[in-house]
């Protein structure tokens, strides 16, 4: 199976749009809360989770953000 075929199959199974970068991604995704005022069903991609959501959560955990 080629890469294009594989991606097509994944798309058929249902891709999601990242709530942060608006890029299409596959898989379960991550919960962007409490970083942004998004709906519970919003999902963000791996990249946004690592680059935006996790660092923000760490800062909140250290009390740098109220
Ligand atoms: Zn994203």
Q: How do residues 47-60 score in pLDDT, each as one tens digit? A: 999 999 999 888 98
pLDDT of residue 6: 62
CA of 36 to the centre of ligand 1 (A): 13
pLDDT digits (tens, 9 = 90+) for 1-48: 566 676 665 555 678 899 999 999 988 899 888 766 766 678 899 999
pLDDT of residue 14: 74
How many Å lie between the centroid of ligand 1 and the Cα of residue 34?
A: 15
What is the rounded distance in angstroms from the CA atom of residue 47 to the CA atom of residue 41? 18
The per-residue pLDDT for 42 is: 85
Domain chopping of the chain, boundaries: 21-66
pLDDT at 55: 92
Do the Cβ atoms of 15 and 24 come closer than 8 Å? yes
**What 8-state DSSP symbol labels residue 30?**
B
Residues 6+ away with beta carbon under 8 Å from 17: 23, 24, 25
Cα 25 to averaged position of ligand 1 atoms, centre (Å): 8
Dist. CA 29–CA 33, nearest whole Å: 12
Instruction: Tell me how far apart the alpha carbons of residues 21 and 17 are, in angstroms, rounded to a whole number.
Output: 8
């Amino acid at each position: 199976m080629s890469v294009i075929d594989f991606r097509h199959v994944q798309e058929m199974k249902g891709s999601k749009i990242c709530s942060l970068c608006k890029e299409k991604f596959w898989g379960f995704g991550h919960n962007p809360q409490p970083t942004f005022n998004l709906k519970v069903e919003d999902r963000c991609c791996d990249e946004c989770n690592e680059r935006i959501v996790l660092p923000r959560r760490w800062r909140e955990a250290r009390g740098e953000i109220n």
